[in-house]
Amino acid sequence: MRAAVIGAGAWGTAMAIHLARKGHEVVLRARSAEGARKLSEERENRLYLPGVKFPDRLAVTAGSPGPSDFTVGAVPTQHIREFLTEIRADVPRAPFVSLAKGIEVETGLLPTGIVREVVGNELPVAVLTGPCIGREVARGLPTAVLLAGDHAEQLQPAFNTDRFRVYTSTDRVGAELAGALKNVLAIAAGIVDGLALGDNAKAALLTRGIVEMTRLGVALGAKAQTFTGLAGFADLFVTCVSPFSRNRTVGERIGRGERLADILDSTPSEVEGVPTTRAVLALARRVDVDMPITEVLNDVLFGGVSLEEALTTLMARTLGPEHPPRRARAGR
């Protein structure tokens, strides 16, 4: 098969390498001609994946990737609209599999929603998500992921290998929401690490975080079970504990006293969880869902609230049961 991968960052490059190793003819679409030339000449992405050589079946371009059997989108969420608008004529009219994990701040759209608005509503879309650190995939370490959305079962064999196990789901909304929400919680988990609050605090954060994720997801039409699987708990866990997680690392640096602006200036890759925090909170307020961790994190990132004040706010919330009864539906 022939695959186009749009976006030559860490995850896009890792996926292009994975697909080429599987035997597909892969074209990796870089943003600039200079970037494409450098990747082609060096045959590795020295900025994000140094030492991992490109397979022979992997080509790089800054132009049209040409026809493909499927397209993989690996552009950060807040840049999808601009990038795809620029290259709309070059995007293959084939199933589009998104790797992005975020929510567009201006519209509240998930990545596949942005793709359909720009490229066309008739385009089949799916999301590939789960606990998949790019450098581990590029090294061929064992990984399990979820492919959710249109044609997921048909596309499953195209991604699956003996080191990259792919499960499928019809819950594209839940899978995308989980990927976005876990980045927000990863920043909070990093703050816990930076403040040295301990393992008890981190465990509580992850557990209550899953509750928040599920609560919002169900309100937006997702399935609750999605948030306990690969797209939810597994991805949340790896993002909150891995030293290679950008979002967790940003949170850790905040916990140690660094300014957010300085952290972002010194981070070469996009930190999806930062803008997504605002987008998640806006969605939660729109559907009247309580998300205290997200709300407090938003106050820290954008409202000038101190970490000590934020911690006190969370720990002093009104007491209640762990699993409160569900609200009665209207008319019942």
Report angle CA 249, 251, 254 to the nearest 5 degrees: 115
Name the amino acid, one letter, at 202. K
- Is 182 an annotated catalytic residue? yes
Q: Which two tokens stand for residue 217?
A: 């997801």
- List, in sequence order, every residue forming a beta bridge with 129; answer none if it has no partner: 146
The 8-class DSSP code of residue 240 comes to: H
Report whether 178 contacts 213 (CB < 8 A). Answer: yes
Report whether 143 contacts 137 (CB < 8 A). Answer: yes
Choose among 189, 248, 169, 180: nearest CA to 217: 180
- List the alpha helices (DSSP H) in the chain: 10-22, 33-42, 77-86, 111-119, 134-138, 152-159, 172-194, 199-219, 235-241, 246-255, 260-265, 273-286, 292-302, 307-315
Report whether 250 contacts 263 (CB < 8 A). Answer: yes
Report whether 212 contacts 188 (CB < 8 A). Answer: no
Name the amino acid, one letter, at 155. L
Catalytic residue among 22, 182, 202, 223: 182
- Which stretch of DSSP H or E encloses residue 96? strand 96-98
Rounded CA-CA distance 95/158 in Å is 12
Rounded CA-CA distance 291/309 in Å is 17
Taking only Cα atoms into account, the Rg of the chain, rounded to an integer number of angstroms, comes to 20
Q: Which two tokens stand for residue 328?
A: 């009665």
Active site residues: 182
